[in-house]
Structure formats: structure tokens, C-alpha cells
Amino acid sequence: MKKGTFLKLSMGVALAGAMTLSLSSRASADLAGTITFTEPAQTLVMPFDVTTGKASFQIVSRIGGGDPVIATHWSYWSKDCRHLADVFICLTRDDTVVVDPTKLQGEIQSPNPPANNKTGPVIDLSGEEGLLTVTAFTADIGLSGLECRISDPTATLSDQLVGSWTIADTATNAAAGFDGIGMDSGNFPDAATFFGDSSTRLPFFIQTFNPDSLTASEVIFLTVEFSEFSGNGRFQGSEIGPITFSGSPKVCCDASFIDNLEVVVSLPDVCFDCVGIAPISDNLAKEGETSLIPPTTAVNSSGLLELTNCVVADPEGTSDFTSIGESSQTQFIFAFHAQAVGPFGTIANGKYTGGLTVNGG
């Protein structure tokens, strides 16, 4: 691989957004039947950003059936993979909760009269950005009915949750958001199918308007894993979480830009840990940020950011890397681009060819 540029992962632009892919235990059309935008899931994955000048909110609703009350475990992870916080929120049928990462607190609903009751200490994640997972479990509400516990950390519940998130710039009031990435541990996307192995090296793509015309840009990469190591504390091995291999960076991909005349320009490797966040071009980079397109590379048209040969640190913690499609752990990478021209913004989801014959190949 080319010499990599390790992303200094900060989100410092006016508009941030996200790709959302939802995956539940039921089959659907995308990513070989593992992704859906509209059906409830076992786990939701969402980015958050409450660094200086940013506000972030997540909304989660329970639209699945089953038990009168379920427990949701909210697990917050930093961009560099530190586990930040655990919060437990119990949801009744058709219940909805909105969460601010600077005011995290547990919650349970009392029936008579109906009221949402906060539980436990308030947690403030100000200054952090990264990844959030929300997972549905069988609830233990105690003898009083007003406790929200998870007695069995393996008792996950499928087809329960839908959600979305928002990230805003408090100075400009520009904001963007999208649906949470709904996933199910029993129906995980196959990295070998969508990224290939060391011989096939299948690319994935991120669309962009002309970087010279953009006034805001964030390309965001989220890693996910389901293994005996994923999750935190007593939930390790039963929850989806960020990639767990040791070392830094944990992920590196070859990168190039394909303009609207199909001219290919090689870019520095894209390397990150659990979450990668960077502007697409240097003219949009804030202090301390490293853009995906370096200042020495001229790009002046719309096009595709192409990433291929994505490798991950091996499970033994050595300096060796292996293709994500050949990893011994079940892992995946989601990618998206939040971009704006003046007040007009959009979100471009990462696109996967999945081994299909495209472009006459």
C-alpha cells in the first residue's frame, strides 16, 4: 500500500451528515438482503459529535412487538475506540426517546399516571465525537416496575428499534442527519462479498459534488464488528460494536478520485481507528484536520471517491494487516459524505458493487 495519511479525526465544518443503512433479521433489497432503511432492527449504529461548536441528538422509537417493556443499552464509543458511557433506557410499545449526549441519563416509564422518569446520574460527553450503538434486550424492571435493568446480556431482541440522528453547528445553525444504521447480529453484511479479498480487492465508492464548490464537507467512516470481543464489559460478545483489533490505525484503504471525465487520480491512503472523519478537500479543512484530497492534488469536478484494498490490523496485534474480507472476525465498514453548497446540503451514502459485473468488467 502507499504511505498512509492517518486522519486526525475531528468534525469541524458547518454541516455534518450521515449515511444510513438499516439492517434487520428480515431480508431486504440492499447488501445481499442484509440492509434496510425502513424495518426495525436489533441494533442501531449512529455517529455523534458534541465537540466545541457542535450539538448532537439521537431519536429512537420502538415499533416492534413482543414484551410490554424492553430495555435498550446505549453504548457510546470515541473515534479512537475508547468506551465512553453506558445508559439503559426502557421502552414500552410504540415508545420514543430523544437523547442529548451532553445530558445522558437512563429512563423508564411509569404507568399511572404515564410519565417518563429519569434514572441514574447525568453523563456529559461534551468534547467527544464517535460512534453510538443502541441494542434491544429483554428488560428486568424489578419488583417495583420502575427499574430498567438487563439481567441477561445475551437476551437481545430482533426487529424492535428504528432511529435517526442529527448533528448541528451551533454557530451557523446548519445541521444534517439521517436514519440510524439498523443491524442484526444474526444477519451481518459479508465483508468478503462487498470488499473482496487480497486477490479481488473490490472497491466501494462515495459521491461528491465538485470539491471546489463545496462550502462544507465531512466524509465519515464507521467500523462495526460482531465477535467474541465486540461490545463492552458484560455485553462483550453479545453486542455489535466498533472494530476491536489492537494497534493504531486499525483500518487503511487505498484511495483515488475519479472525475467526471473518468480521469483517475491517486490519493494518500485513508487510515483510521473506529471512526474516520475528514473533509474531502484541503480548502474545507479546519485547523488540525487532514483532508482526503491533499492540497497538492487538483480536483475541480464532481466525481467518485474510490476506496479499495481495505485492510485491518490482525487479531494477534502485530504490525501485519489483512484484507477485511479475509479477517477472522465479522466486520464491516460503512461510509458516507455530508456535503453542502451554501445552504443546500445532501448526504451521499457509500456505494458497494458487491462483486457485480459493472462497467463492462
Cα gap 239→72, rounded to integer Å? 12
Query: Into how many domains does the chain fold?
Result: 2
On whether both 81 and 145 belong to a single domain, the answer is yes
On whether both 164 and 136 belong to a single domain, the answer is yes
The torsion angles phi and psi of 264, rounded to 5 degrees, stand at: -100, 130
Question: Distance of alpha carbon 261 from its chain centroid, rounded?
Answer: 31
3-state secondary structure at position 109: strand
On whether both 202 and 334 belong to a single domain, the answer is yes
* pLDDT (0 to 100) of residue 26: 52
* pLDDT (0 to 100) of residue 176: 76
On whether both 153 and 197 belong to a single domain, the answer is no
Helix (H) or strand (E) holding 218, with range, is strand 216-226
The torsion angles phi and psi of 233, rounded to 5 degrees, stand at: 60, -130
On whether both 198 and 170 belong to a single domain, the answer is no
Q: Given strand 344-349, what is the order of strands in its sheet? A: 275-278, 216-226, 330-341, 344-349
Task: Among 183, 218, 237, identify where a domain stops.
Answer: 183
Q: Do 217 and 236 meet the contact criterion of CB atoms below 8 Å apart? A: no
* pLDDT (0 to 100) of residue 20: 35
Q: Do 174 and 164 meet the contact criterion of CB atoms below 8 Å apart? A: no
Question: Distance of alpha carbon 72 from its chain centroid, rounded?
Answer: 18
Q: Put residue 250 in one of left, alpha, beta given phi > 0 → left and psi -120 to 50 → alpha.
A: alpha
CB contact burial 307-335 (16+ within 10 A = b; e otherwise):
bbbbbbbbeeeeeebbbbbbbebbbbbbb
pLDDT in tens, 193-208: 999 988 888 999 999 9
The rounded percent of the chain whose pLDDT value lies above 90 is 60
Best-predicted range by mean pLDDT (46-50, 59-63, 216-220, 241-245): 59-63
Is 98 part of any domain?
yes
Helix (H) or strand (E) holding 204, with range, is strand 204-208
Query: 313, 291, 43, 345: which is closest to 178 by C-alpha?
Result: 345
Instruction: Say whether pLDDT at 4 is over 60.
Output: no
On whether both 170 and 119 belong to a single domain, the answer is yes
On whether both 179 and 194 belong to a single domain, the answer is no
Cα gap 208→188, rounded to integer Å? 28
List helix spans (H) across the chain: 191-195
* pLDDT (0 to 100) of residue 146: 84
Establish whether the linkage from the previous residue to 113 is cis, with ω within 30° of 0: yes
Task: Among 183, 203, 224, identify where a domain stops.
Answer: 183
164 versus 2: which is more confidently predicted?
A: 164
pLDDT in tens, 296-343: 999 999 999 999 999 998 765 555 888 998 988 999 999 988 888 877
pLDDT in tens, 227-281: 999 999 999 999 999 998 878 899 999 999 999 999 999 999 999 999 999 999 9
Average pLDDT, the chain: 86
On whether both 178 and 203 belong to a single domain, the answer is no
On whether both 263 and 132 belong to a single domain, the answer is no
**Average pLDDT of the segment spanning 123-137:** 96
The three cell numbers locating residue 265: 487520480
| Bridge-based pairing state of the strands 216-226 and 204-208 | unpaired
| Bridge-based pairing state of the strands 104-110 and 115-123 | antiparallel
Task: Among 157, 183, 209, identify where a domain stops.
Answer: 183
Is 31 part of any domain?
no
- Structural domain range at position 209: 4-11+190-352
The pTM assigned to this predicted structure is 0.88
Cα gap 36→58, rounded to integer Å? 19
The torsion angles phi and psi of 339, rounded to 5 degrees, stand at: -145, 155
